[in-house]
Structure 1
């Protein structure tokens, strides 16, 4: 299986989410997974699209006209505010994504949009009116990614699945997980632990959860019980985060979400033909 991640620091933090995803998928599938990232810090989809057309950029070969190798999946992650800002910013995201998914289609790849999470305290400094707190930012991000996927399908007839990492953060926030048999931090501390010190980027716990969400989204396999632990997390945390990923991805949302690339839960990619 060949997977390309196109995003920014939300992917490359903690050594790279793509490396964790590859380890999880290899355990799921019993096959070698090649995962590559193109994730400069702070990058936006318009910048990515520009780089696909720039021969000096590695993305020109990875995704643009400079290369021909196919990908099974391409994961697109936008700058962490853009899908939720509305107006000109979100329009520019959509227009760039329209070009990126066409390149993905030419590489025979299934497109996955990685829905990111709201900042721990929202973004009251730059956007106090629309991101006053975590809840408001998360809600706008979720709606933004859903709208982008729907519009890409409607106007370009290209189906894009969503890897709902942001909803996994939201699930943990809702749980307000207390001390119990698995000895996790009490109350909101569990949610706080998902973030790096800046309250924006993922901690190692956050990167592992992000990776479980992507692996579940791609395969239809549940994470609970996986032993791959490239970030060397405590076993109790591993089980907790795997359970959250399973709960979020396999929740029945009716027609609200675009379809996953599998029909029925249960490691469907084992049955498919994988690119070498």
Structure 2
């Protein structure tokens, strides 16, 4: 098996989006799904990524892409190319952050760089300071080479308190507040380092929290039903909607049929599930409408509230 990065086929118009992060992004292939969600407005020309499971931004910088080990080797990930021995090439993203973000040509610069840290990283002072430093020293120069807008995802507090070494992070509301404060500190660090840098926050965790308070059963369904902290396909849909609102200043078109919803994942390289289990369910049409409305609301956009 050979690994490569095709990203995807380029459209004739739209923006170029790079994704940097961990399994919060690669579960249910958020990069490809996001491009499909934005397709109605022809808003995304190209996407590519450097992702690695379980990492913070310092580890991603040091260790690079980990998707060979984490599932981007399915039929949907095949690029259609083979090596001299007839072995398939797979699109697993770029090997390192630097290789993803260094522009090869002027027309290949990125417009947006979507970033997610380990969810607990923004919550504690030591890891928060470390991430501020790595963002300013390593990531920012490459972002500036592209004249790109960084979008930092405010990830979601876990479904259950005190799981995955989060005992010190409190209740769902307390945990989410710590994530928000930490992500805002990343924005402040980038702005202080470069007046030309205009970072944005994608308030995914705030969208989760709104559903926690208003639509509790739907909030529960945002999480993977085995580990309770990764996103389910429903959570990935909400994340993509929040990214769309943050990036383009408007919500995505609401899928009107089950086929339209299924089509959002038509080329997903991985839909996360565990061996022997049924595939995770996708959002219903009614849930999709609520999720789009929720994303618009937390991003301060006009939308008919469904919650």
Instruction: Please indicate the TM-score interval, normalised by the length of the shorter structure.
Output: 0.7 to 0.9
TM alignment of 1:95-114, pairs within 5 A = 95-98=133-136, 99-114=138-153
Structure 1 unaligned residues grouped into runs of 5+: 178-187, 252-264, 267-276
1:34 pairs with 2:46: yes
1:161 match: 200
What is the aligned counterpart of 1:200 among 222, 229, 238? Answer: 229
**CA separation of 1:31 and 1:240: change in aligned 2, threshold 3 A:** closer
Post-superposition offset of 1:27: 1.2
Contact 2:101 2:146 (8 Å CA) reproduced: yes
Cα deviation, residue 32, structure 1 = 5.2
| 2:55 is the alignment partner of 1:43 | yes
* Deviation of 1:51 (Å): 5.2
CA contact 1:94–1:148 (8 Å) conserved in 2:
yes
Query: Which of 110, 134, 141 lines up with 1:71 in the alignment?
Result: 110
TM-score, normalised via structure 1 length: 0.78
* Greater share of strand: 2
Alignment partner, residue 172 of structure 2: 134
Summarize the Cα distance change of 1:103–1:241 in structure 2 as closer, same or farther, 3 Å threshold.
Answer: same
CA distance in 2, matches of 1:203, 1:156: 36
CA distance in 2, matches of 1:25, 1:127: 34
Q: d(CA) in 1 for partners of 2:102 and 2:39?
A: 27
Separation (CA, whole Å) in 2 of partners of 1:49 and 1:91:
16
Distance in structure 2 (CA, Å) of the matches to 1:213 and 1:241: 9
Which residue pairs with 1:244 in the alignment? 294
| TM-score (norm. length: structure 2) | 0.70
- Equivalent position SS for 1:33: strand
Indicate how the Cα distance of structure 1 residues 124 and 239 shifts in structure 2: closer, same or farther if over 3 A, else same. Answer: closer
How far off is 1:112 after superposition?
0.8
- More deviation in 161-170 or 133-142? 133-142
Does structure 2 retain, via aligned residues, the 8 Å contact 1:8–1:41?
A: yes
How far apart are 1:121 and its partner, in Å? 1.6
Map 1:164-183 onto structure 2 (within 5 A).
164-175=203-214, 177=215
Q: What is the match of residue 189 of structure 1?
A: 217
Q: Distance in 1 between matches of 2:115 and 2:56?
A: 10
* 1:124/1:59 CA distance change after superposition, 3 Å: closer
Contact 1:2/1:72 (CA < 8 Å) preserved in 2? Answer: yes
Q: CA deviation at 1:133?
A: 2.6
Match of 1:215, SS state, is helix
CA distance in 1, matches of 2:252, 2:17: 18
Q: How many residues align?
A: 234
1:8 maps onto 2:37 in alignment? no
